[in-house]
Structure 1
Amino acid sequence: MTFPPTHPALARAIAARGYTSATAVQTAVLEADAAGRDMVVSAQTGSGKTVAFGLAIAPTLLGSEERLPQAGAPMALIIAPTRELAMQVQRELIWLYRETGARVVTCVGGMDARAEARNLASGAHIVVGTPGRLRDHLERQRLDLATLKTIVLDEADEMLDLGFREDLEFILEATPPTRQTLLFSATMPHEIENLARRYQRDAIRIATTRGHEQHVDIEYRAIRVAPFDIENAVVNVLRFNEAPAAIVFCATR
């Protein structure tokens, strides 16, 4: 499918990037009845959701204007569970909003908080950050959310699993009640439903995944291994597949 109509500045950025078709979640957030609405979106990592919420918040941020006003207090806040994801989101939004003059900055754990404070003081249209660092900037009065227009919780289920509920609630309470609130989550446990009921208004529900549906572009294999032989099995699997890069997930740190 081709890209549905979107803001002209973003449409040009998408065309320049060489994208000719929209993913399911991108198409869904661009439906006419979704414009400017709060949303609860079920979407997997790798589904194009970063571009999706970038497109979804454009009407709220830009309206009919081609460019954003001079950067000051942030107009949009994107919250992600990890530094790596936050920085990836920043990179995606920079190219998507390039023609709007958007200034996109990050506030994430493990980076220089004083440099982040200087970036915030210089003004930003969009701030992307992790819950703990964003709360820290709020408590130190370095981050002003008084005029925020929209907020996105990316991978909300992951943030709750990591114990960020209190930080998220603290941040949400500091935002104007008139904000647009977008909640993106791969799964929809009761905690997510409760968060949506408390902080969203007449949210539209968008589901692009079904239950435990796997990624269509990933091959899955199961190998039964004796507990005492796990390390040897991992090494042998990596050697057998000759993978130039791999991620090994473990039960604990």
Structure 2
Amino acid sequence: QFANIMYARGEMGKTKEQMEEDKKAILSFRVKPLEIEGLTVEQLRDMAKKLWEKVVALESDKYDLEERQKRQDYDLKELAERQRQINRSRALKKGLDPEALQGKHPPKIQVASKYERRTDRRTFVDKRDLFSGGLEAMTDAEMEKMWEDKMNSFKEQSRGQLPKWDPENPKNKQVSHIRRLEEEDDDEELVPVFEPPKPEPPKPAAPPPKPAQQQEEEEEEEEEEEEEEEEEEEEEEEEEEEEEEEEEE
């Protein structure tokens, strides 16, 4: 790209004679001479026909390119007109001049009405400072000034009124001793807020399961005991019946 720029600068500095010489050299390189020596009439006709076809093709391409250029120029004009209409409507919506957005740069900020008679000579910075701050800035400045005044007056008053601290004074020693005792009492009264849970006693292990033979023997013993109890009950009932019969006799 830099080489192209330097070449263009060199071309601009040439004279007309130098330009004509360069043109002739380029044409001699591009347009080669026709080799027609020793050709017959038929060969000359064929060569002329080829040249005519080439000229027709070039003319048709030239016509197509010209028509394409015209169409593109029309499209560009139409797009430029659309862009102008869009910028015009956008400027009207913002309350600006219709031609304000037509230039290369955006319009200047309007800080005064255009209907004023007197021209405002102030710069943009001066006009901007008029709108910065306001009531909030004024109240903040007043509060800051009031705080500084009160702080200065307090420092000036408190310098002579506050007594100097003397640790050797017996009254100060008594006060420090009382404070130390109060702190010790507070430490003793402190109760732990959280106590760890006590460990639970271990549960007794379950008895091991009995074998099947032992279970059968126990069941047989229980059945025998039940039979003996039933026999005893029957004997008691018989004795009671006999006693009742004897009493009746």
TM range, smaller chain: under 0.3
Give the alignment's TM-score, normalised by structure 1.
Answer: 0.14
Q: Which has the higher strand share?
A: 1
Q: Which has the higher helix share?
A: 2
Give the alignment's TM-score, normalised by structure 2.
Answer: 0.14
Structure with the bigger RCO (C-alpha within 8 Å, sep 6+) is 1
Q: Which has the larger radius of gyration?
A: 2
